[in-house]
Structure 1
Amino acid sequence: MLSLFSGTESERERLVRASQSLLDSLQGCISATRTLLCILTQHLDTSVSLEPVGGDVDVGENLEHLLRAAQEMHATAEQTDRHVQKNTSRDLYARMASPHTSLQEKGAIVRDFHQATLGIFGSVGGPVVAVLLRNAGLPERLEAALREAEASPVLRLPMDALRRSSEEIARAVSACAAPGGPAGETAAGPPKNGPFSGTGVMQSLGDYLPDALTGRRARNALAAAAGHLEEALRALAPACKSFQLAAAAAEVYMALITEQQPGTGEGPGQNPPGVAHGAAQAKP
């Protein structure tokens, strides 16, 4: 069967490049989400969970888990964000909310916010991250990306499939795109057996091969798989990048706060009564 997925070296390289780029993007999004969750737990005295991701979990299911976490983070940040707006100037809030600030400006924001809200917030970290998350639009960005990519067979691939050889990746993508294959399943309810271990998907592929992978289509199987991966990457990468940028900005703020206010006890329980715990109960 592997011979049906043979192609030129450039086609193989294109497929592997697209697969690796998508994997890097997804892993970056997962890592950023975990970073943000850790910061929220530490600075807003709340706990938002992330359902199992990576490995044998489908790409689409991974993204659905990340979306739910993003929605919960947004809800957690919302009430604290409203409290910040009531206790800071419009100018300072706008500076805090902006995604385009230099390291020097971030340092000035931390100083100005601490001075403007002295005695109001016990913690600078919680409010700063709340404003950052409230204005990052992570749930909306990821929802839009999922809508754009919803018809892609790539969403039915386990993340581990993206690590395979070019022939195996092409087989998996073709199996997901085959009539009667897992492309007909939803990301939330994938088949129990994946493209590499299950007989059902491979049977679907076997039924599909005589018609779909003969002649010209057989020669273009690698290119077709690469095309699916590149389309998915175009749809998903910007949203995944927004998670990474938000996490990077939050980490910079945390480092600046520690540097400017050593020994201030930044951590759980430092927000005004009711703010952190009420935010944790808010719904998107």
Structure 2
Amino acid sequence: MNPRSAVRFLLLWSFRFVLLLALLLAGPAYMFAFGEVQFDRDWRTMQREPAGLAPDAGQYRDAVVQVYAARAFNWRGVFAVHTWIAVKPENAESYTLYEVTGWRRPSVRAMSGAPDRPWFGSPPKLLGEIRGSDAHRAIPTIEAAVRDYPFAHRYEAWPGPNSNTFTAWVVRRTAELQVEFPPTAIGKDYLDQGLVARTPSGTGFQASLGGVLGLTIARREGLELNILGLVVGLDPLRPALKIPGIGRVGYGRPWTLPGEGPAD
């Protein structure tokens, strides 16, 4: 290859890389430019009232398991959501929340509280839930998965392991839970071992290289391509696009099973 051809080759691939980067960042730029994520929130005065998405533990006696997502705090919210799991055993009068945070070690936190409270002011969205006998069977499995989480002493906001890595880990190990995570759940594709795993919905498979590069093909997730941790995708069964930063955009709604709520 002569010098002129080499320069042309480098310029061409540099242009392609810049174009790819621009496409990946267009969604987060939109979220930033149009105020979809607020940066001036004071965490001390943020909304903490429950959203009304969870049954009242004092009145609802059956077991409940719920999976939630909310926009991450501050600038991270233009890229990603934070996810967590809430469980209420049969006849229990309170919920236990399981989540991972980046400011403590071990990173896994278990606490009692309202499962549908905002996350630093961002309203929660219900990704999925099970109740009754299914939830009763699932809770011991969830508790065991929480104890066995392999990254409890390690946290990386990008590309993982992070809060979404934890939630996806627990869901994959709980047969009763079939949850479609939003494409904005950065870290969900970070696998604990190997390059291939079943999707959290249990309806397909994904290949992932350290959460930085990956491919997902599943009935519920559709087709997803992970590039640098940002997910672009297509849902052909419920026509929709999956756009980094923004999430799912289309006419169809995410798959729901009896008792499950939709996600964006």
Task: Compute the TM-score of the two structures, normalised by the length of structure 2.
Answer: 0.25
**When you count helix as a share of all residues, which structure comes out higher?**
1
Q: Which has the higher contact order (CA 8 A, sep 6+)?
A: 1
Q: Please identify which structure carries the higher strand content.
A: 2
